[in-house]
Amino acid sequence: MMTHIFDDAQQTAEALLEYMLELVNESPDRNFHIAFSGGSTPSMMFKRWASSEYAGRTPWERLYFYWVDERCVPADSDESNYGVMKRLLLDKVPMREDHIFPINGMNDPSEEAARYERQAREQINQLNGSPAFDIVLLGAGDDGHTSSIFPGQNELLTCDEWFAPSINPYTHQKRVAMTAKAILSANRLVFLVTGANKREVVKDMLSTVDRGPASYIAHRNKNAELFMDVFASGYNK
C-alpha cells in the first residue's frame, strides 16, 4: 500500500483533496463516481473542500457522490454521514441534487442495503460482477473496523452483496455498509486516517496479518493508498 504522511490532520485532508482534484481534472471528459465514508476524520476535508481555494477548482457537474456506509439515523442527526457532508459541503457548493445518492438512514437496513445496491448497479460500471467506483474513500476505526464492517463481522468481508445491513457492536446502532466485495473492486481505494489513536490499526494495515477489517481490505488491494498524519503513522515517537 502506498503511504502519504503529513504533519497534521489538516495537511492530510488537503493533500487528499489535491489528489482527488488532480485525478478528476486530468480527465476532463469523464464523470467520477466517488463513495465517501463518514465519521469525524473526513469532516475537516469537507470543510476545506467548501472553501473557494478548493471548490473553485472542482468540476462539480462531473461528480457523483455515494456513501460507503450510513448510520440508521435521520439525516439531520449529527451521526448521519450524509447529513454531516450536506451541512459542511453539499449545501455550500453547486453540486447537482441528482448527482447525490445518500443511503437512507430511516429505511429498514436490509431493505435499504438492497435498494442502494440496485441503484449502484444502475449507476456504476461493473468489473467481474463488482462495482468499479472511481474512488472509494475509507476511514479506519481504532478497533480496526472500516466502512461499517466491525471486527468479527466476517460475512461482510466474504459475501457477494455489494451493500449489507450491519450493526455497531458497541452501541448496537444499526447501519448499512459497503462490503469488501464492492470496496475491493474500486478503481482507486484510498484510506484517510489521522490521530495517534489510529497508530495500532495503521500498523496492522501495513503488516501482513489480517487483524481486522481495515487491514483485511488494505492487504487485498495492492494499489490502495493511505493518507495519514505523523501521529497515526507512529513516526513521531
Q: Which residue sits closest to ligand 6PG, CB atoms considered?
A: 139
By CB under 6 A, is residue 58 in contact with ligand 6PG? no
Determine, following the binding rule CB under 6 A, whether residue 39 of this chain makes contact with ligand 6PG: yes
- CB-nearer residue toward ligand 6PG: 26 or 109: 109
Kindly tell me which of 4 and 57 has the beta carbon lying closer to ligand 6PG: 4
Asked if 37 interacts with ligand 6PG (CB under 6 A), we say: yes
> Contact between 141 and ligand 6PG (CB under 6 A)?
yes
Residue 180 engages ligand 6PG in binding (rule: CB under 6 A): no
Indicate whether 139 belongs to the interface with ligand 6PG (CB under 6 A). Answer: yes
Q: Cell for 56?
A: 473553485
Taking the least distance from each CB to ligand 6PG, the nearer of 39 and 234 is 39
Cβ count within 10 A of residue 134:
21
**Helices 41-49 and 81-88, interaxial angle, to 10°?**
30
Q: Cell 465517501 identifies what position?
A: 36
Contact pattern from residue 64 through residue 83 relative to ligand 6PG, giving x for each residue in contact according to CB under 6 A and a dash for the rest? ----xx-----------x--
The smaller minimum CB distance to ligand 6PG, of residues 81 and 179, is found at 81
Strands (E), 68-221: 69-71, 126-127, 130-131, 135-138, 163-167, 174-178, 188-193
Angle (deg, nearest 10), helices 9-25 and 41-49: 60
Nearer to ligand 6PG, 95 or 140 (CB): 140
Nearer to ligand 6PG, 120 or 140 (CB): 140
Type of residue found at 159: C
Task: For the segment 200-229, give every residue that binds ligand 6PG (CB under 6 A).
Answer: none
The number of angstroms, rounded, from the C-alpha of 72 to the middle of its chain's C-alpha atoms is 17
* Segments of the chain assigned E as strands: 2-6, 32-36, 63-67, 69-71, 126-127, 130-131, 135-138, 163-167, 174-178, 188-193, 225-229
Q: State whether residue 101 is helix, strand or coil.
A: coil
Size of the site for ligand 6PG (CB under 6 A): 15
How far apart are alpha carbons 125 and 129 in whole angstroms? 9
For position 147 contacting ligand 6PG by CB under 6 A, the verdict is yes
The region of 47-55, 124-132, 140-148, 215-223 touching ligand 6PG under the rule CB under 6 A is: 140-148
Chain residues that interact with ligand 6PG, rule: CB under 6 A: 37-41, 68-69, 81, 139-141, 145-148
